[in-house]
Structure 1
């Protein structure tokens, strides 16, 4: 009879941070307002070292991706659940 080997399960890091419904609704409202007004904002994004400064160009409901255009005209596709905070630019 073979001895059973104990496998250790490594705790996976969550794909997206946990937040309550109120926080998610607030972010969604801010994103909508930002896109309609075509304003540049600073986005704090989960697992990104640097905040992203740019304007929301598109919000895709199917993929939950937010398209943000930075000052170099690069488009960054960020998952809605990864956006932690949206703030105004400090000059």
Structure 2
């Protein structure tokens, strides 16, 4: 019997647009951000270095590594 994967919470267009604006501003200002990511217990902390519209991935630089986070999995952005 297959396990049912827990479904990510749905958000409306306004919430997604606001989230996108926060990510763009953080990238432009080169701010360090704390991303709360759905399905992960630990937040992703670092600077946003790229927003890939084609793959819908947010590239976050953490000290000396790069983490790629799916846009739809980001629940909250704080600085």
TM-score scaled by length of structure 1: 0.78
Q: CA deviation at 1:18?
A: 1.1
Structure with more of its chain in strand, by fraction: 2
How many residues are matched?
Answer: 79
Normalised to the residue count of structure 2, the TM-score between the two structures is 0.89
Q: Residue 11 and residue 25 in structure 1: after superposition, are their counterparts in 2 closer, same or farther (change >3 A)?
A: same
1:33 alignment counterpart: 25
1:51 and 2:43 aligned:
yes
Structure label with greater radius of gyration: 1
Q: State the partner residue of 1:85.
A: 76
Give unmatched runs, 5+ long, in structure 1. Answer: 1-7
4+ residue stretches of structure 1 with deviation over 3 A? Answer: 8-12
